Structure formats: structure tokens, C-alpha cells
Structure 1
Amino acid sequence: MKLLRFALPALLLCSAMAATPGRAATFRWANDGDVNAMDPATRQETVQLSFLANIYEPLVRRNRTLGLEPALATSWEHISPTVWRFHLRPGVKWQDGSPFTADDVIFTLKRILAKDSSMRAPMSVVKEARKIDDLTVDFETFLPDPIFLQEQTNLLIMSKAWCEAHNATEPVVIGKEDNYALHYAMGTGPYKLVSREPDRKTVVEANPLWWDKRQGNADRVEFNVISSAPTRVAALLSGEMDMIYSVPPQDMARIKASPDLKILETPELRTIYLGFNFTRDALKTSDIKGKNPWRDIRVRQAVALAIDEQAITSRVMLGLGHPTWEMWGQGVNGYNAALDVRPKPDPAKAKQLLAEAGYPDGFKVTMDCPNDRYVMDEQICTAIVSMLARIGIKVDLLAQTKTKFFTKINGPNYDTDFFLLGWTPATYDAHNVLYTLLGTRNGKRGEVNDGGYSNPSLDDLIEKIGVETDQSKRDGLINQSIEILQKDLPTIPLHQQVIVWATKKNVSVAQPADDFFPFRFIQVK
């Protein structure tokens, strides 16, 4: 597939063309950060997976209310406790006109299970995929998996022939290696990639070969990266953008006051949290030599007690957050409101704990933080720096774009001492959080366990939760895991944020709680 490349004009793009329902429209929107890569196997990150889900498709997808529905598979059967049979959709074409078959599904699974794929964790339960015929595939799991269908929603299928033709049969690590699939894309989905200018603009157009019917009328979608919040808001107010995300909380009232604009708000499934590096005998950025302060539970407790999360959500986020004490929030299976009781901030007790741990004067450490990924992320980190300073922990804040941030702290580098991160469980189930963020890293489990936390008791629970089909027993196991996490504090949960988008009033979009943005629902009137 040949991609056209255009230079982005110095001035912001002109306003979107007017359109009526059923008539083709161009839709222009802006975010503060870019998609990391065009390869869906390179990173478990919402912005990337959301964008690529408009080009590539899974066997099972989410509808606009997050229910499961057929996509590249028309139906499925659970033919034994460990075998799922998927009947593939006939007549589906890749965007180059070639047929979609079972070979593509099996190839994609093998590619995702490769050592350098950051998407292998959700599929690590699969022992083998077998081709029954061109339109039938069996997935055999090692053990029964109660959320197997939910895990399929981010398995974005790639063309075996296309990857082979462009020497992209294996994913590569972003920032360390390069291949064709990082920059180009060719899927079966509702849109096809037209041009790609990293950190500037990416353009897709409607795929005329798509098997389904779009519910919207956006034939062309232009995704612009505008890192400056004032510039992003100005582009919306002037009509040069049809939508922006994220929306600075301090500008919401101004946008609401505009007769041509509207604010969209939805509680998000994502939890924002702090993480610590447990793997280093001594922290690289600390002035404490020969010791890792984070390994002492009293130090982690001190951090938790130093943070006034209510102040963060009310003052920094202007109400666009809900304080939490669990690593998954409301709307995620396994959330327990009775256990979601955050301790009150107590700086005096925090200082006492630091002294008992042997750090009466505190210590220095660097904190990694994105500045273009979450609601007020850098401002939140700045507030935390101030709160920790009051108990003697002197933090040097390293805030950077999410592209640099994720490359630094995620695998295979895991180069961080202390960090802020957010996570939306793709399956909307607690097991995804436990398995991916908190389980001991073993090549499959713990892929985004950036701090390297390891607890055999928790690992045992994670394995049991992964195969328990009795919902009552499963909920009990999840509650046990919550209690372990709240006692051991490998991470400090902060809040669930609110998704805030701003659009023109003549625009209708779906805004699901998983923060995905499906272009097929965009309607420009």
C-alpha cells in the first residue's frame, strides 16, 4: 500500500466542511499526544489501540455501550472447557482487495505471542490456534478462561501476506528497532490509512471495501497533535477543529459558554496510580546509597499518607476525578465499594514512618510522569511533589511526552524509580489489572508491572482468578487480592478520571467509558 505524505501547514487547518446526515464529511480533531505506532502489537496503550481499531479489527468487538458483538467472527462456540471455535465472516476483504482467512488469524496470534509484542499478555492463555478450514478457527487455552471473549476485543488481526511482503512478520520494540508496520497499516476495518506524520497529523479515509455499514458520515478523519492546551482550545473555539481531547478543566466553562460548542463527560474505567521500582538494590536517582527505600513498607505507607487525593481531584482536576483506594474502579468486574476506603492524609504519621524506616531526613528520588496523556497529568505530579516534600521526600519531576515516557518506563527497559501511570483493563475485569500490572514478571504475566513487584501469594490468587468460573468464588478471590494490595501497597491508587471531550454542536460521537474513539459513529450534520 502506498501512502501519501503531506506537509502540515504552519497555520492550523481550515474548518471542517459542512455536511448533512448521509452526506460525506471531513472530521478534524486534536489530541495533546500522538499515536505511538501503526503496529497494533507494539503497545498496550489506549490512544494507540483506539486509533488502530478504526483500521484493524478483532474477532469480537465492543458496541457503543461496550457490549460484545460479532466483528471478523460472525459467531463462536465453547466446544469444550478449553476450546473456543470461531466462525469467520465470509467475504471480508483486506484493504488491498485480498481475502481475509483463518490463516490471518493464526498468523496474528503467533505474531502477538512473539517475545517483543507488548500485547502478548491478554493472549498468553492460548495454547494453540488451529485452522479447521478457511473460515473456521479453534483456540485452545491452557486452562478454562472465564473472560476469554472479552480478551479478544483487542486482538487486532493483521494480514499474513502483507506482513510477509514487507518483512514485518514480528513486532519490534518502539525506539529500539524499526519496521514497515510501525509506519504503515493495512486492515479490514472501516477506515484506511492515507498519510502519517508522527507528532503532527495522521489521516484516514473511509474504506470502500468494508464489510459493515458505518453509522456515521465521516469519510475523512484528520487526527492532529496539538500539545499546547491553549492552542488546542483556540482551534476548537475558532472552528478549525471539530473536536478536541483532552480538554483542560479550566477551559470547560469557556467552552460551555460558546453557542456552537458542547462538552461531553463520561466516567472513565481508567485508574491513575503511583508505582515504585522494587527490582533495584539501590535506586538510580536517589541519594540513598546501597539501599532501596521503596522496599520498606513503612516508606510506601508514608507516601500514601502524604498524598491528599481529595485536594488533587477537587483543586487540580477541578472535580474531574473520583478518589479511590482500589486498582480498578466502578464499572470493572471485581470492584468492591466496601473496600474502597482511602486512608485520610496524615503528614505527621508519614514523617514518623519515614523515621522508623531509617530516613528521618527523607531522601531524594526522580519521578517519571507523562505530560500529554491523562487529565492534568503533569499538574497532578507537581502537586504530589509538593505533598511529598512536606514529609522530607524530595522529588525531581521528569515530565515528558507519552511517547518518551512509555518507552522509558515500560518493558523492556523498565527504566524508572518512581512513576505515575494509568490503566484501563481491556477486559473490564480485575484479572486484567492483576495479571498485567501486579503479577510477577515471567515473560507473560506482569508485562506492564513496571516496578517489578513480586508476591507469590498474589500470583497464586491471580492464577486462580484466571480459571475460576464460579462467579461467587471468583469475586471472593478478587476481594482477597484487593486486601493484599491495600496491605502491601506495591502501588498507590489515586483516582478514576472523567473523560472530557469538546465538540461542535453539529457533531455526534460515541464516547464509551473505555476512552476509545470509534470513528464509525461520527456524524457531522
Structure 2
Amino acid sequence: MTALAGTVLAGAARRARAGQAGGAAVLTIGAGAPATSIDPHFYNASPNISVAQHIFDSLTTFDARARLKPGLAESWRPVSETLWEFRLRPGVKWHDGRDFTADDVAFTIGRVPNVPNSPGGFGGYVRTITRVEIPDPLTLRLHTAAADPLLPVNMAGVSIVARHAAEGAATEDYNSGKAAIGTGPYRFVSFRPGDRVELLRNDRYWGGAEPWEKVDYRFILNDGARTAALLSGDVDLIDQVPSSDLPRLKREPRIDIAQIQGLRLIYLAPDFSRTGEEPFVTDNEGRKLARNPFLDVRVRRALSLAINRQALAERVMEGTAQPAGQWLPPGTFGYNPDVPAPPYDPEQARRLLAEAGFPQGFRLTLHSPSDRYPGDARTAQAVAQMWTRIGVRTEVEAIPWASFAGRSARQEFSIRLIGWGSQTGEASYALVNILGTYDPAKRRGASNSGRYSNPALDALTERAVATLDDPARERLLQQAVQMVADDVAIIPLHELVNSWAMRRGLRYEARMDERTMATHTRPA
């Protein structure tokens, strides 16, 4: 037995003995990114959603391959072009024993777009709903402003909260547990920001009791520490497996790996919110530029052409990413086969910069999270080197996600590296939320931190999402994908391959939406 295998085996034995002594089945998860709140409507970010989905349910939900299935709604049907009817699951109880009813859903729909201080909320999911009708406690009718064929899909993104617990409650009341009463498979115990969430099994769960009596959901942001915690037996499962550790973990007989092509795009978002000076852009002598250079499509195209995406995927990400020119992988609804990853062409990039009035380039700072996405800071450093080679001298400031998210939402950066996971598995989710013009009243652009705005794209998106015929809607979405690419609204880098590692004896159902869930973890 190798020393490494011995360490793993000893750690697993320690955990097994501890579980037997306590008489409880405990699952300990090591997550690579932190949830910032227990409030399920506060921030549309994957770590938050992963935790929330243990506590709360939605009307519809997705399986591991992003296919829609029933949740709190047993069935749904279109009554007319602008009316959907949902039949709710009977006998569902809140964690405090009260009955779940359609009134709770109506309250939730009203709360979702109105959460104070949200850095990027869920309003896009309910933006077409104009009125909620409740014929009886288990029937819900949702009236929409126009035809909305994707409403059942969008409702999978809305966690349902209890009116009696949530009315008048603030985000802090969820974090303390006061309002964190759901219908989900686990009950809230405690939340320590930046450290962990503790959960206890809901034995009365409508979907059947889970095998784990307790879940210790830890946030271990350092890649090396996360791998070490798994190898020592301190945790049972980790996500965001460091690409540099994958070969070693795949050879380790006491560790299993689960992987799947993901739905998350890693991309660069330039700032469109300012026409004049940018806070982190200067000329080569350090003087502020009079005009925001990112407003010139030639500059955006130059920056894109200067990036060797194949090198990023193969060397920086060590084969755990695929170069991308759009936000969804092949085979998904709305993917446009005519929009490949942009070529690597530094000479053309230099010519475009010269045409735009920057023959000697300029200087900028690229901001990136340091602990949110696999390889995020390393990717930013590699992009910075590529841009420097074409005369755009680039520095990188990589900061913890807890700080990055808020600053990005406030448009404090000139250009940032960020990610977007299209959990609906189709193209309109990104078009509405990260590419649509920021407009809280229309519940559009909630996560559009760069404030890109294109009225023609907005109009095309509105046509697409209101088109009932699937082939016609997909053609419109593909047109929108082409429009985004032509205007370089964002600079796509790569799509991630999602990876989990777990101790032998466990099985994890790998998810395209990268959620890390106790509910998808089972004894092998």
C-alpha cells in the first residue's frame, strides 16, 4: 500500500468510526466556492443555488442533464397563449409542519424581483408574469404579458418560500435561520459565512427521506486544501477538482471521479457603463483615456483575437475546458454551429488596435475572482500575457469571490473575468440575464454586470422567448447568438468540464449545471 493510499484509508476509517459512534450517517462536502447567503432569492450564483436547493424546492426542476421534471408542481399546461396552469403536489409540508399551498407560490413570485441589495437576482425568471390567480390551494394560474413557452423552464429557477416565515423577513433572517423554512430534503441548522452550512435531514420530505442524516457543507476555497481534505478523509466529496490534481486522483484506488461537460462559460465582460474615463484603463504613460476604449467594437475584437483559447484549454486548464465562441456547448437548444471559437490572430489584433487609434496599445487592469471558478486567476494571468504581447499592457488583480461579486455588480471594474452557467440548457437564459439591457422594471439584465446594451438584441430576444413553435424559436435564438458574437458583447473563453472527486464507496451523479448536492450523492 502506498503512503497516499494509507492516508486515504486511515481517514475513511476515522470517519466511519465517528459515524457509527454517533449513530448517524454524515456526509461532509468540500465546496470550492462559498455561498454568500441562505436567502434563495438574493444572488443568482451557483454556490448559493447549490445550498438553497437542499432547503427549498421549486415548482419544476432539472435532472443532472438539464432535463425538466416535476417539483412542487405535479403537472402544468398552457390554458391559452398567455396563461399557464400548475397543479401542485398535495400533502407537502413546510419544515415547521404547516401546509404548502399556492398562496406561498404567489408570495414568492412577488418577492423574487424585490430583494434589497441583491448583486444579481432572479427577476428574469418571473418577468413575464403579470398576475397570479389561485382557484384553490393546489392550483396556480400564471398570467403573462405575452406568450411565454419557457415559463415552466424558468420556474425551475425560483425557490419557493413560505409566506408565514418570509413575509417581512430580510436576507439576514435567512442567514440566521429565522426565515430559512423550506419544503426541501434538508432543514437548516446553521450558516457560518466563508466556513460552512450545516443541514439536518427532513424525514417528512415529500420525495422520500435522504440517506444522510446530517450534511456538513464546507467551503474550502484553496485548491490544494480541498484535495488534501479529501485525501485525509476529512471530507467525503469535493467539487471543482483542481485540474493539476486530476491525474493523481484518477490513479488513487480509494478515490472515484465523476465528470460531465458543463453548461458554464468562462468569459470576459468589458465595461459599457461609462463613455468617458475608465477607472483601470490608461495610456502607456499612465494617463486616463478620454473615452472608454471598450465602446469600440474594433478594440473588443482585437482583444478577442489576441487570445489563444486552445492554449488556455489545454495548458492552463489542463484539458478540463473546451474553447468557446458562444455560451452553450453543441447539442443544446439555441447553439449556433456557425459561431466557432474565434481564431488566434495577434497580427490582425494589432491592426484592429491601430485602426481604433491605439497603434501603441494602452494599459489596463483585468479583474478576476481568485477562488470562484476552476483556474480563474491562472486564466486571467494567461490572458494578460497574451494581451501584453499585442501592446495592451495588462495587470491582473485577483480577489476573493466574496469581495469580487459585489464590486462587479457595482461596475467598479473596467473588464472582468467571470462565469455564467445556463442552467436551463437553452440560449435565452443568458440573453435575458447577462446580455439583455439592464432594466429592473422589465426584470431584464439582472446579472449584466458590464451593462452591455443592444436594443436590436433585446427585441430579437423578446421575439424568441414569445415564440411558441420550437424550431422557429431556436432559429431566432441562433440569430441572437450570431448577433452577440458579431458585436463582441462578451469575450467567450471556454466552457468548463465539471469534475467531482469522492472517497470510494460513494457515487455522485455529475450534473451539467455544476450543482454540488448531497441529494445526488449516494452510497455506491
TM-score, structure 1 normalization:
0.91
Quote the residue 2:427 is aligned against: 430
Matches for 1:181-220 after TM superposition, within 5 Å: 181-184=174-177, 185-214=180-209, 216-220=210-214
Q: Distance in 1 between matches of 2:494 and 2:520?
A: 29
The 10-residue stretch of structure 1 (263-272 or 362-371) with the greater mean CA deviation from structure 2: 362-371
Quote the residue 1:291 is aligned against: 291
Q: Distance in 1 between matches of 2:150 and 2:40?
A: 21
Counterpart of 1:132 (choices 130, 135, 140) is 135
Quote the residue 1:110 is aligned against: 110
Matches for 1:83-482 after TM superposition, within 5 Å: 83-114=83-114, 116=116, 118-164=121-167, 167-168=168-169, 179-184=172-177, 185-214=180-209, 216-281=210-275, 282-287=277-282, 288-337=288-337, 339-410=338-409, 413-443=410-440, 444-482=443-481
Contact 1:306 1:388 in 2 (8 A): yes
Contact 1:84 1:139 in 2 (8 A): yes
Q: Aligned in 2, Cα 1:65/1:434: closer, same or farther, shift over 3 Å?
A: closer
Residue by residue over 1:2-37, the C-alpha shift from the partner in whole angstroms, topping out at 9 and shown as x without a partner, is xxxxxxxxxx999533689xx952111112221110
Shift of 1:65: 4.0
The one-letter amino acid of 1:204's match is L
Q: Aligned in 2, Cα 1:50/1:292: closer, same or farther, shift over 3 Å?
A: same
Shift of 1:479: 2.2
Shift of 1:520: 2.3
Q: Aligned in 2, Cα 1:468/1:30: closer, same or farther, shift over 3 Å?
A: same
Contact 1:17 1:25 in 2 (8 A): no
Q: Distance in 1 between matches of 2:257 and 2:69?
A: 29
Residue by residue over 1:467-488, the C-alpha shift from the partner in whole angstroms, topping out at 9 and shown as x without a partner, is 0112222222122212212211
The one-letter amino acid of 1:420's match is L
Contact 1:306 1:346 in 2 (8 A): yes
Q: Distance in 2 between matches of 1:222 and 1:247?
A: 19
Shift of 1:428: 1.4
The one-letter amino acid of 1:440's match is T
Contact 2:264 2:327 in 1 (8 A): no
Residue by residue over 1:455-498, the C-alpha shift from the partner in whole angstroms, topping out at 9 and shown as x without a partner, is 12111101100101122222221222122122110111111110
Shift of 1:389: 0.7
Unaligned runs of 5+ in 2: 1-10, 283-287
Q: Distance in 1 between matches of 2:461 and 2:510?
A: 31
Q: Aligned in 2, Cα 1:341/1:64: closer, same or farther, shift over 3 Å?
A: closer
The one-letter amino acid of 1:46's match is S
Contact 1:82 1:144 in 2 (8 A): yes
Q: Distance in 2 between matches of 1:343 and 1:36?
A: 34
Contact 2:499 2:510 in 1 (8 A): no
Shift of 1:188: 0.6
Residue by residue over 1:317-372, the C-alpha shift from the partner in whole angstroms, topping out at 9 and shown as x without a partner, is 011111111122234310122x1322321212212211221112211222221112
Shift of 1:62: 2.0
Residue by residue over 1:31-78, the C-alpha shift from the partner in whole angstroms, topping out at 9 and shown as x without a partner, is 222111000111111111121111000011223443322221222221
Instruction: Give the count of matched residue pairs.
Output: 498
Contact 1:192 1:205 in 2 (8 A): yes
The one-letter amino acid of 2:227's match is V
Q: Distance in 1 between matches of 2:24 and 2:83?
A: 43
The one-letter amino acid of 2:100's match is F
Shift of 1:507: 0.5
Quote the residue 1:3 is aligned against: none
Contact 1:320 1:497 in 2 (8 A): yes
Q: Aligned in 2, Cα 1:328/1:521: closer, same or farther, shift over 3 Å?
A: closer
Shift of 1:414: 2.5
Contact 2:339 2:485 in 1 (8 A): no
Residue aligned with 1:493, SS:
strand
Q: Distance in 1 between matches of 2:492 and 2:293?
A: 19
Contact 2:254 2:503 in 1 (8 A): yes
Sequence identity percentage = 33
Shift of 1:119: 0.8
Contact 1:33 1:401 in 2 (8 A): no
Q: Distance in 2 between matches of 1:81 and 1:200?
A: 47
Quote the residue 1:497 is aligned against: 496
Q: Aligned in 2, Cα 1:15/1:131: closer, same or farther, shift over 3 Å?
A: farther
Q: Distance in 2 between matches of 1:45 and 1:128?
A: 27
The 10-residue stretch of structure 1 (477-486 or 154-163) with the greater mean CA deviation from structure 2: 477-486
Q: Distance in 1 between matches of 2:220 and 2:341?
A: 36
The one-letter amino acid of 1:422's match is G
Whose helix fraction is larger, Structure 1's or Structure 2's? 2
The 10-residue stretch of structure 1 (221-230 or 260-269) with the greater mean CA deviation from structure 2: 221-230
Q: Distance in 1 between matches of 2:297 and 2:114?
A: 36
Quote the residue 2:509 is aligned against: 510
The one-letter amino acid of 1:126's match is I
Contact 1:50 1:518 in 2 (8 A): yes
The one-letter amino acid of 2:158's match is L
Q: Distance in 2 between matches of 1:341 and 1:74?
A: 40
Residue aligned with 1:394, SS:
strand
The one-letter amino acid of 2:174's match is A
Q: Distance in 2 between matches of 1:260 and 1:115?
A: 45
The one-letter amino acid of 1:429's match is E
Please report the RMSD computed on the Cα atoms of aligned residues, expressed in angstroms.
1.9
Q: Distance in 2 between matches of 1:291 and 1:210?
A: 57
Quote the residue 2:5 is aligned against: none
Q: Distance in 1 between matches of 2:520 and 2:31?
A: 18
Contact 2:264 2:513 in 1 (8 A): yes
Q: Distance in 1 between matches of 2:497 and 2:423?
A: 17
The one-letter amino acid of 1:122's match is Y
Q: Aligned in 2, Cα 1:15/1:28: closer, same or farther, shift over 3 Å?
A: farther
